[in-house]
Structures are given as structure tokens and as C-alpha cells.
Structure 1
Amino acid sequence: MMERLPGLLAKLARRLPTDRLTDYDAALRAAEGPEDQALDQFAAANPAAGLTHHLDAIRQAWREEAPGLPGTAIALALTTAMAPEASETERSIQLVVSGPVSPAIPVRLTGGVTVDVIRSARESLLIASFAAFGVIELVSELRLAVGRGVRVDLVLEESTAAARAFTTLQNGVRIWHRVNASAPGVLHAKLIAADRHTALLGSANLTDHALGMNIELGVILSDPLTVGRIVDHFRWLTSPEAGVLRLVWTT
């Protein structure tokens, strides 16, 4: 009978983002065998979609096919299985969700990713949202970003009064609205772009429910060429010659 363990490890290596693979590698290396309680603790501490499901399957195959192998050997097999032929595009796109998670595909959670992207900025942050409400943690992160010299542009829909969520911010922040708020259509884009290297695109508005409880879906882009084009598009939207967005607040 064909062994399942190598196939499970290869499948995991193809589907998980690099940071998740690093977490798995560390957990497996710390385990003496498939019954090690350290693996139970790892699964409990990492409830993101896919982790427990994949780990359970690997542990079951491990105990059935190679129970004498230590965790270091399984970790080595996982590292070997990491597909070197995987394209840079595949590695530069990761899925993000809010709300319920499933074992169908490994993802990261929107609230945590939002903070990570903001913290990764060193020069500029470009943020667009249809609505904004609450998000105290996000506002605090933006304040810290401004403090380290990051220029922040908030492109917001005026009809939802989204700008009110950011009234406590000072210095280094600019807020943009559509030139004609009464014209048909709305600003519906949701974007957080750090410098020109990372962008979060998705369905989630900047609200506590959207970042944590709603059923939302998005992607993280880590391809500087693609992110740069997105940033350039929004810079054009804010330019006087475009006549699309107007500056309504600068500090």
C-alpha cells in the first residue's frame, strides 16, 4: 500500500505560505513522536484555517506508517518537500479571511494581517475604504506609523462619514474624498498598501465587524511590480489633472 505520509507532507509544502511552513517545522522538530503533547499545544495555539486539519492528518499517517521516527525526521521531510519549482507569483499571494475559517485552504485572518501590513510600512501607507468605524487598534497603529515618519493617505467614501474614525490622528495624515460626492457611484475600493512592496486587497471595510466577525475574503500581494501599479493608480486618482479625488484634510 502506498504510504500517505510523504504525500501529505508534499501537499502541505505546496499549499502553506512560508511563514506557516516555518511554524510547522519548528513544532515538528520539538516533538518526540506523533503523540507528543507539544503538537496538541501547537494546534491549540494556532487555530487559523487548515492548521489543525492538516496536522491531524499528518499525525495519523505518522503513527500508522512511521511511529518510530522522531519529529526532526518529519520536519526534514517537510523541508525537503517544499517545492523549489513553485513560482514567485504563487509565493507572493496569500489568502486572507474574516469570520469562520475552514480546513479547505490555509489562510490568515484579516485583523492580524491589517496590523502586519501597516507595521511593514517605512515611507508611505495608502489606505482606501468605503466605510470605517471603531477600529481603535488600527488607528493606534496608524499613529505609530506616523510617529516613525510614514506618510499616510486615507481615501474614504464621504457618504459613509468614514473620516470620523480617524479624527484623533495628527500630523502626516491626508484624507481624500471624491470630487463630486453627489455624483452617481461611490468609492468602494478596500486597500492597504505599504510603501510599494505589500498590499492587502479584499472585501473588508475598516470596521471592527469586517476585520473580525463578518464573512470577508481578501488577498495579500507581495509583488512590488503589482503593488507599485496599484499605488500609481491611486496616486493618479489624487492628482489635480485626474479630477477624481479632492484633499479634504491634511495635518
Structure 2
Amino acid sequence: MPDERLAAFRQILETAAGPDDILVSRFIAGQTAVGLAQQLLEIIRAWRTEAPGMTGAGLALALATARASPRPRPPQVVVSGPMSASVPARLTSGVAVEVIRSATTSLLIASFAAHGARDVVREVARAVDRGVQVDLLLEESTQATAAFAALPRGVRIWHRAEAVGVLHAKLIVADRHTALLGSANLTDRALSDNIELGVVLRDPHVVEPLIEHFHWLLTPENNVMRRA
């Protein structure tokens, strides 16, 4: 709901005795923006059903509180290869560097293959220099470790502990707040030229369970991943 319409609605609510107040009905009937009247009717319906004894001033305060609460940023589409105007998107190469750069305490990166990707390797090295703990989960059969050979000491590299299956995930997680996941490996072609698709998640409520899953995979007792 637009901020100015919400402010006007809250002003009406301040003097409303209840959900059936005539001023509220008139305000809703006067809305011409597509879908806005229906949104307001849903609020009134919930008010009438869930808290009919609450005053309009109480509902206005509840709406103001909800509006002031931090809201997670929506997922962002990222692509490699040709870009169209159909979907707002950013290139994988730039977003990967941005996510790595945002890490302040921890960085978890998983990739099936790795080759070149100098900008990514450079940003990982800078993250190590500023004290970020880096975990690289790489597929051993693709010799992906070689791409990160120049990284400073302290980077933890992990491979699959068992011969069954491969590590095929592609993931970059900064701290517990931002995750880039998609189809692109950490190769020059995948980050820029191939047709790849991914998404950036910036909602900690979504990112935290994801990182907890990978921490479980790295726990030695679970015998899923091993240090290289």
C-alpha cells in the first residue's frame, strides 16, 4: 500500500469507533487505485473477525508498528549470458563479488567446478585479509581446488567424504544474511558467458537454515565432507 494512502487511512482510523464506522466505509469506497479498496476491505474484515472490540486508534497503531518493522529485501534474479528486458536482473559475475565483499565474519562457497574466476578469487583473498573465516566446498574430481591455490593460509577446503555422488551445489553465503545460489560454477564462462540463472536471498530467516544445513554437512561426525 502506498505510504500516503496508508497515512490517510490511519488518520481515518484514529476517530473510528469500530470496523463498521461510516467514515471508514466512505474512505474505502473513495479509493480508485487498482486493488487498493480490496486490500483495505481485507483489513476491515480481519478487524471485524479477529478483534471487533479494538478501537480504530488501536488498529492505526498496529498498522504503524507493522510498517515501521524492518522488512526483508525480496529475492533478486541474477543471470549469465545474454540479458533481456523481460526480467530485472544483474550479471552473476558482479553479484558474486558483491556477496563475497559483504562478508564480515564468515564466507561459505560451494562449486562443482572452478577455473579462472580471478575477480572471485581476489575478493576471497581480501575477505581472508580482513579476518573472514572462509570455507570452500569443492568437487575433487574436477580439480577445482587449483583455482584457489594462491589464497592465503587459513582457508578451509572440503571435499566429499564418500565416493558415491558428487558435490554439485553452487552457493556463496556471506555471514548469515546473504546467499547467492544458482546454476553457475565458479568459472569464467559460467559467471559471464554461459546461459545461467540464479537468485540472491537477503532474508536471514531463509539464509540461516541454509547455512545450518551446510554446517551440518561439514560436521566430521556426519562423515559427509572431509578437509582437503
Tell me if both proteins adopt one fold, taking TM over 0.5 as the criterion.
yes
Determine whether 1:179 maps to 2:161: yes
Determine whether 1:109 maps to 2:128: no
Task: Give 1:198 shift.
Answer: 0.2
Whole-Å Cα distance in 2 between the matches of residues 92 and 115 of structure 1? 19
Counterpart contact for 1:178–1:245, Cα < 8 Å: yes
Task: Give 1:233 shift.
Answer: 0.5
Matches within 5 A, 1:10-89: 88=71
Deviations 1:132-169 (A, max 9, x none): 00111111111111000001000010110111100111
AA of the residue aligned to 1:197 = H
Question: Could you say which residue in structure 2 is the equivalent of 1:94?
Answer: 76
Among residues 188, 197, 206, which one is paired with 1:226 in the alignment? 206
Among residues 108, 130, 143, which one is paired with 1:161 in the alignment? 143
Whole-Å Cα distance in 1 between the matches of residues 154 and 193 of structure 2? 31
Matches within 5 A, 1:196-211: 196-211=176-191
Displaced runs of 4 or more, over 2 A: none
Whole-Å Cα distance in 1 between the matches of residues 220 and 74 of structure 2? 33
Among residues 130, 135, 154, which one is paired with 2:112 in the alignment? 130
Q: Which runs of 5+ in 1 are unaligned?
A: 1-9, 11-83
- Structure with larger Rg: 2
Deviations 1:98-126 (A, max 9, x none): 00000111101100000000000000000
Q: Percent identity?
A: 61
Counterpart contact for 1:191–1:199, Cα < 8 Å: yes
Deviations 1:176-224 (A, max 9, x none): 00002x32x2110000000000000000000000000000000000001
Question: Could you say which residue in structure 1 is the equivalent of 2:52?
Answer: none
Q: TM-score, normalised by structure 2?
A: 0.68
Task: Give 1:88 shift.
Answer: 4.3
Q: TM-score, normalised by structure 1?
A: 0.62
Whole-Å Cα distance in 2 between the matches of residues 107 and 122 of structure 1? 25
Whole-Å Cα distance in 2 between the matches of residues 106 and 224 of structure 1? 22
Question: Could you say which residue in structure 2 is the equivalent of 1:57?
Answer: none
Whole-Å Cα distance in 1 between the matches of residues 209 and 133 of structure 2? 18
Question: Could you say which residue in structure 2 is the equivalent of 1:120?
Answer: 102
Whole-Å Cα distance in 2 between the matches of residues 108 and 135 of structure 1? 17
Among residues 150, 158, 183, which one is paired with 2:132 in the alignment? 150
User: Equivalent residue of 2:221, what SS?
Assistant: coil
Counterpart contact for 1:150–1:172, Cα < 8 Å: no
What is the Cα-based RMSD across aligned positions, in Å?
A: 1.6
Aligned length: 161
Counterpart contact for 1:99–1:212, Cα < 8 Å: yes
Q: Which runs of 5+ in 2 are unaligned?
A: 3-66
Task: Give 1:172 shift.
Answer: 2.5
Whole-Å Cα distance in 2 between the matches of residues 233 and 153 of structure 1? 14
Question: Could you say which residue in structure 2 is the equivalent of 1:239?
Answer: 219
